[in-house]
């Protein structure tokens, strides 16, 4: 396991996350799409299908859910094991989705402004909290003007991490300059391990 100079896990190193995948310690992976996203796509507030980026896509559970609903999906993750699994799942399901192995902080500029939507789930809580403002810039760069971030933020309230907690106040403070927060509140229908610990957000790029 890669560690930083303080002896803590280096969450900015892909080998840390790839090691967890290979060791079967990917507890953040539900093995299925997140129920709040399923509920969104089945309801009257479902977004119109368009081009969607999934940051920290993992094995592609959420990415493939949106692909099934007609979205043109590109998933980004820097853990090789996760990207390989996502590609295999896409092929097995007969779905067309692109999965790119890259650090989200180094996404090629050819993707800038290319997406109608960005999907967030367990990426924000996995990065070094000191990089959260940088993360907001990444999301802003990926979206076209007026594009939307659809997000589940992990607000478990515990110290340390990963996963690192957040709250609605921090999310609003970080995103306020470059996004309009159209909705941010407790997620409905979360998976049991995350019930009462997720914030569902829809944020529009200014």
CATH number assigned to the domain comprising residue 85: 3.40.50.150
111 or 23, which is more confident?
111
Mean pLDDT of 95-117: 97
* Residue 194 in domain: yes
Q: Give the pLDDT band of residue 131 (cuts 50, 70, 90).
A: very high
In a domain, 97, yes or no: yes
Domain count, the chain: 1
Question: Structure tokens of 20?
Answer: 């967890």
Stretch 137-146: mean pLDDT: 98
Interatomic CA distance for residues 85 and 153, integer angstroms: 24
Residue 4 has pLDDT above 60, yes or no: no
What are the CA-CA distances from residue 88 to residues 21, 52, 189 (Å)?
A: 15, 19, 28
pLDDT band at 22 (very low <50, low <70, confident <90, very high): confident
User: How is the beta sheet containing 198-205 ordered, strand by strand?
Assistant: 98-101, 72-77, 51-55, 115-121, 143-154, 198-205, 179-186
Domain presence at residue 129: yes
DSSP state of 110: G
Within a domain: 9: no
Assess if residue 35 is contained within a domain: yes
Kindly state the greatest CA–CA separation across the chain.
49
Q: Would you call 181 helix, strand, or coil by DSSP? A: strand
In a domain, 4, yes or no: no
Residue 102 domain flag: yes
Range of the domain at 133: 30-205
Mean pLDDT of the chain: 94
Q: Does residue 12 lie within any of the structural domains?
A: no
């Amino acid at each position: 396991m890669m560690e930083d100079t303080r002896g803590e896990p280096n969450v900015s190193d892909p080998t840390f996350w790839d090691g967890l995948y290979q060791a079967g310690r990917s507890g953040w992976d539900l093995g299925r799409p997140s129920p709040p996203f399923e509920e969104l796509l089945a309801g009257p507030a479902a977004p119109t299908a368009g081009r969607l980026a999934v940051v920290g896509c993992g094995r592609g559970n959420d990415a493939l859910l949106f692909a099934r609903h007609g979205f043109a999906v590109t998933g980004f993750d820097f853990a090789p094991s996760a990207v390989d699994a996502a590609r295999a799942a896409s092929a097995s399901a007969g779905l067309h989705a692109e999965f790119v192995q890259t650090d989200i902080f180094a996404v090629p500029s050819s993707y800038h402004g290319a997406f109608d939507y960005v999907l967030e789930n367990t990426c924000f809580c996995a990065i070094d909290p000191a990089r959260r403002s940088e993360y907001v810039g990444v999301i802003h760069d990926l979206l076209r003007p007026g594009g939307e971030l659809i997000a589940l933020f992990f607000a478990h309230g515990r110290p340390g991490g990963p996963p690192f907690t957040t709250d609605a106040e921090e999310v609003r403070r970080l995103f306020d300059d470059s996004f309009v927060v159209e909705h941010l509140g407790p997620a409905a229908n979360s998976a049991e391990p995350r019930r009462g610990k997720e914030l569902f957000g829809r944020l529009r790029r200014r």
